[in-house]
Amino acid sequence: MCFSGFPNHFQKKNEKKNRVFHICHHFGRISGAIRAPMSGARSTGARSSVTLPAGYNPLDGGAPFYNIYKTSDRKKVAIGPIEDKFYQNMLSTLSSNSATDFSSKYSENQQNIKLWPEMKKDLTEIFKTKTRDEWTEVFKGVDACVTPVLSSAEAAVVRPDSFQTSPRLMPKPVPEQLGELVDVDAVPGKNSREVLKEYGFSEDEIEAFFEEKSVM
């Protein structure tokens, strides 16, 4: 954050212009989770200060529910249902497409690392029973954090603005420029009424929100 913030500050000072830039603190949280796997340590009965070796923690490949699996067509799907809601949705969907009852077997054992090797084996086997696109269709509309792993060529079709073709097809740097605006039309409160209407709130309820200053 500092490396992004300080240059932006001096650029603003020199150019006399306000700048908007994007900082994602989520990566710092991921890094912390890898270094200090609290849930993994607790499930083994160890003190929370104990860090498990690489490959045994939730986000470094140790957790079977946060990993990448090969499909029958030698492509891949990525799964990452860390939160219980998404985890349970994944298990129930897999149970509907397998002879193994994933829900009854693993529903209460997400953080039981003693079962992680067996869970990973079951997940490896089930995902090999269908192609990547078939699994994509199975999980379509399901909040389970299960997504297809796309090649660069496939991803460029979905997000053409995120790729460059010279000197070869590759993702563009993000951001391309420090002062690049992420969304010049992004104004706080611009779409509040529209979003609230989509969620079914009446005009009177929406007006009350604004009067109470619950939204802007």
Q: Are residues 77 and 135 in the same domain?
A: yes
Beta bridge partners of 16: none
Q: Are residues 156 and 204 in the same domain?
A: no
In a domain, 49, yes or no: no
The CA distance from 212 to 216, in Å, is 10
Question: In this predicted model, what pLDDT tens digit does every residue of 20-33 receive, in sequence order?
Answer: 555 555 545 445 54
How does residue 5 score in pLDDT terms, banded at 50, 70 and 90?
low
Say how many CA atoms lie within 13 Å of 111 toward its Cβ: 12
What is the total residue count of the chain? 216
pLDDT of 117 over the 70 cut: yes
pTM across the whole model: 0.62
Cis-peptide into 81, omega within 30 deg: no
In a domain, 200, yes or no: yes
In a domain, 14, yes or no: no
Nearest CA among 73, 74, 65, 72 for reference residue 145 = 65
In the prediction, which pLDDT does 59 show? 85
Question: In this predicted model, what pLDDT tens digit does every residue of 73-109 receive, in sequence order?
Answer: 999 999 999 999 999 999 999 999 999 999 999 999 9
Domain span at 110: 67-171
Question: In this predicted model, what pLDDT tens digit does every residue of 6-54 receive, in sequence order?
Answer: 555 555 555 555 555 555 555 454 455 444 444 444 444 444 456 678 7
Q: Are residues 202 and 137 in the same domain?
A: no
Q: Are residues 165 and 86 in the same domain?
A: yes
Structurally, the chain folds into a number of domains equal to: 2
Cis-peptide into 175, omega within 30 deg: yes
The CA distance from 208 to 67, in Å, is 45
In a domain, 92, yes or no: yes
Q: Are residues 137 and 195 in the same domain?
A: no
Q: Are residues 136 and 212 in the same domain?
A: no
CATH code of the domain in which 95 resides:
3.30.1540.10
Q: Are residues 105 and 151 in the same domain?
A: yes
